[in-house]
Amino acid sequence: MPDPHPRRPLRSAATVELVSLIVLLTNLATVHLPAVASLAGPLHGCAYLFTIGAVARDPQRTGRSVILACLPGIGGLLALHRLTHTGPLTVRAS
């Protein structure tokens, strides 16, 4: 039985990537605690790489969706939106 939500791991990784980047930037702009950076930094890096890999493996990927995924923070969610809302190309008869 096929997975009813095949992009759930991509959605999760893209969300973790964005949230961890927000945590890193907030930490940098405020108290700059090394413990926060040492936890959120690797988490952000892993989520970023997972997001790029998940988009690259998607059967409906395009070059633009992979390029979007490479943008730190918001790129994974933008690529997910592009994959979800762009269907196969169709030609209309005039």
Residue 76 has pLDDT above 90, yes or no: yes
| Residue 51: Cβ-neighbour burial (10 angstroms; 0-12, 13-18, 19+) | buried
**Counting every residue, how long is the chain?**
94
Give the residue-averaged pLDDT of 75-90.
83
**Alpha carbon distance 32, 71 (integer Å):** 24
35-53 pLDDT per residue, tens: 999 999 999 999 999 999 9
In this predicted structure, what is the pLDDT of residue 88? 54
Q: What percent of the chain has pLDDT over 90?
A: 83
Give the relative orientation of helices 8-29 and 34-57 as an angle to the nearest 10 degrees: 150
Q: How many Å apart are CA 42 and CA 29, to the nearest integer?
A: 19
Per-residue pLDDT at 12: 97
